[in-house]
Amino acid sequence: MLCPTLLPEIKDEYWPYIVQEDFILNYFLEFDCLMAQVAAVEKKNVLCVLRSPVDRSQAPPVAQFRFLGYDLVDVQNTASALTNCGSFPNVFAKFELSSAGLLPELGRALEVQAKLRSVYPNEHHADCHVWAIFRAIEP
């Protein structure tokens, strides 16, 4: 949901370099491998995402990335509870979101995560992970 993938096909040679988990198969663990695969693509949006971050200091170890904020993505990895599920007015207000549709502070993201689960226990999009989102800065 963050943006369309530049590599829609998972090639056999990718397997050692990608996350191999339910609902997550097109996330690369190796930055250099990813960049080699998309080198010919002129316009690209390269994101680094960290699930369940401890703090903002877990910045990406490679390249230059800019921190964008925290998202809450359902456990099926299909939709953002912040921007793709309508509204959860009893949990957070739209004005809390940045221009990128993200929460700027981890503490607030964790509060929203806990409250979504308690206030909306039967809503599958309310069962979500916190993700830190970083975007590569083009040279």
- Show the domain range for 90: 46-136
Q: Is position 26 within any domain?
A: yes
On whether residue 121 sits in a domain, the answer given is yes
Split into its structural domains, the chain has a count of 2
Is 65 in the same domain as 40? no
The whole-model pTM stands at: 0.84
Residue 1 within a domain: no
Q: Note the pLDDT of residue 43.
A: 85
Q: What is the pLDDT of residues 95-112, one digit of tens each?
A: 999 999 999 999 999 999
Three-class SS of residue 74? strand
Q: Identify whether residues 85 and 33 lie together within a single domain.
A: no
- pLDDT score recorded for residue 82: 93
Q: Which residues of the chain have pLDDT under 50?
A: none
| CA dist., res. 89 & res. 91, Å (int) | 5
19 and 55 co-located in one domain:
no
Q: Would you say residue 4 lies in a domain?
A: no
Q: Is residue 101 part of a domain?
A: yes
